[in-house]
A and B are shown apart, each in its own frame.
Chain A
């Protein structure tokens, strides 16, 4: 049982480049989330999904896009990378709404935009 997996672990992007951060969970959870963690700060929610085909914005969605075509996968897309997007990105999942149900986190993707 792998839980929540994320790829890549680390990536360097140039300003203006695009990339997709991958997230997969094998727990059949309906809810999935993307957070960013800036140095010395708590996690901020970027987007979340309550099931396949349904996504919604979190606190800091600008500059990102998501899709949820299957229960297992929830990729995060950066279209035009900016230095402000340098951060650590965490994907998480839960069987029900987080706060009621426990969230399970992936190991994170460290992104550096230069």
Chain B
């Protein structure tokens, strides 16, 4: 079935550092791709999404580009802040099966001042 693989965490960065969290997927067809963020003690929130190849999703300084040729949707931010500390989940919307979203395992990011 469809699946999502994320880089293992935790990731620890200093404030203003560049962030990349890798995400690759295996899927039938061309699903929509998502990044969700979970701040401490809260539920998940949609961060950004892309619905077709070469689309770029962006929000709050984060970006991710849907790369069909490499089946990837890496999350990037040019300058992280302490407030970006959270768990980030990559997900896809499978075209078959009984779940609307397939999630990766999550990557914990800690940003230190």
Chain A interface residues (CB < 8 Å from chain B): 4, 33, 40-45, 48, 56-59, 90, 92, 97-100, 102-103, 105-108
Contacts and interface: CB of A to CB of B under 8 A. Distances in A.
B89 interface: yes
Given A99-B93, A102-B46, A106-B43, A57 B98 contact: yes
B107 to A, nearest CB: 11
Given A42-B89, A45-B99, A59-B98, A103 B42 contact: no
B45 A45 contact: no
Contacts of A41: 105-106
Interface residues of B, number: 23
A48 B101 CA distance: 12
Contacts of B22: none
11 contacts: A4-B43, A33-B100, A41-B105, A42-B4, A45-B98, A58-B98, A58-B99, A59-B98, A97-B100, A98-B93, A99-B93
For the complex of A and B, list the 5 residue pairs with the smallest distance between their C-beta atoms, beginning with the closest.
A99-B93, A105-B43, A42-B103, A98-B100, A45-B99
Contacts of B61: none
Contacts of B99: 45, 58-59
B29 interface: no
Contacts of B103: 42-44
Given A40-B105, A42-B4, A48 B43 contact: no
Contacts of A42: 4, 89, 91, 102-106
Contacts of A92: 43-44
Contacts of B98: 45, 56-59
A105 B100 contact: no
B50 to A, nearest CB: 12
Contacts of B106: 40-42
Nearest to A57: B98
Residue of A42, A45, A59, A102 most packed against chain B (CB within 10 A): A42
B43 A43 contact: no
Interface in B81-113: 89, 91, 93-94, 98-106
